């Protein structure tokens, strides 16, 4: 879709910062849902080929006016010396306009993210990393559930968090009140089975291990199957 509306595969009007071919699979990447920086990154880098000109004549994303401002994109440096100069494997990538004299940044900002740590919980409680039942709670201990600690490759966290909460509360009630909340599945519901919803590691990157990344649709359907809210085709047809 991106290729059709903007001429690039990476994102809408993203002409720099390409991903290596061994990682370019939908089952292993997280898509950035914000395009605010892309116009600044693509200044002076857009293709001027006849093919792209013809495509953009019929359809193209809006090209934002950056008023002369731009963002230069570089690969990750191998090291930074004591003088603050950034060192790269060989030379700056071909899509960079920086010269070697400019490879000393004024400020370094490390976007390290955050750790999933809850110091108010005793050590006897399982951690987020130990939640092996649909990334919600640890097997054998349904009393503590972690809701919203998955990241979908495409989609949003809140809808998945809602389904997570439904499954966790259902299992919690079945555990504490087995008579009142039986584990009998409705005759119109599909039997649960395991889906491959975790993002796969590729090119030394594993977004599941680092960010608990999942495929949105597969994970949502997995939770629906477990809850018993995924209907059989026959029951849907009866509803008209």
Burial 161-199 (b: 16+ CB within 10 A, else e): eebbeebbebbbeeeeeeeeeeeeeeeebbeeeebebbb
User: Is pTM, for the whole model, over 0.85?
Assistant: no
The tens digit of pLDDT for each residue in 102-132 reads 678 888 888 888 888 899 999 999 999 999 9
**pLDDT greater than 90 at residue 216:** yes
How is the chain split into domains, by residue range? 1-71, 74-112, 128-238
pLDDT band at 25 (very low <50, low <70, confident <90, very high): confident
Confidence of residue 177 (pLDDT cuts 50, 70, 90): very high
101, pLDDT greater than 70: no
Q: Average per-residue pLDDT in the chain?
A: 88
């Amino acid at each position: 879709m991106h290729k059709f509306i903007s001429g690039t595969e990476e994102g809408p009007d993203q002409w720099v910062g390409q991903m290596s071919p061994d990682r370019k699979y939908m089952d292993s990447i997280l898509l950035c849902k914000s395009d605010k920086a892309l116009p600044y990154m693509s200044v002076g880098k857009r293709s001027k080929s006849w093919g792209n000109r013809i495509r953009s004549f019929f359809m193209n994303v809006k090209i934002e006016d950056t008023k002369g401002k731009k963002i230069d994109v570089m690969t990750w440096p191998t090291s930074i010396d004591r003088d603050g100069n950034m060192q790269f494997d060989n030379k700056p990538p071909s899509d960079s306009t920086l010269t070697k004299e400019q490879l000393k940044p004024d400020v370094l900002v490390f976007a390290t993210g955050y750790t999933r740590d809850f110091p108010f919980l005793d050590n006897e409680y399982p951690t987020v990393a130990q939640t092996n039942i649909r990334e919600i709670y640890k097997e054998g201990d349904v009393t503590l559930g972690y809701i919203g600690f998955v990241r979908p490759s495409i989609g949003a966290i809140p809808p998945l968090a809602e389904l997570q909460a439904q499954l966790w509360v259902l299992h919690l009630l079945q555990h504490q009140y087995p008579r009142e909340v039986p584990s009998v599945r409705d005759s119109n519901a599909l039997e649960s089975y395991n889906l491959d919803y975790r993002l796969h590691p590729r090119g030394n990157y594993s977004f599941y291990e680092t960010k608990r990344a999942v495929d949105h649709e597969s994970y949502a359907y997995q939770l629906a199957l477990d809850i018993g809210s995924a209907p059989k085709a026959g029951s849907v047809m009866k509803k008209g």
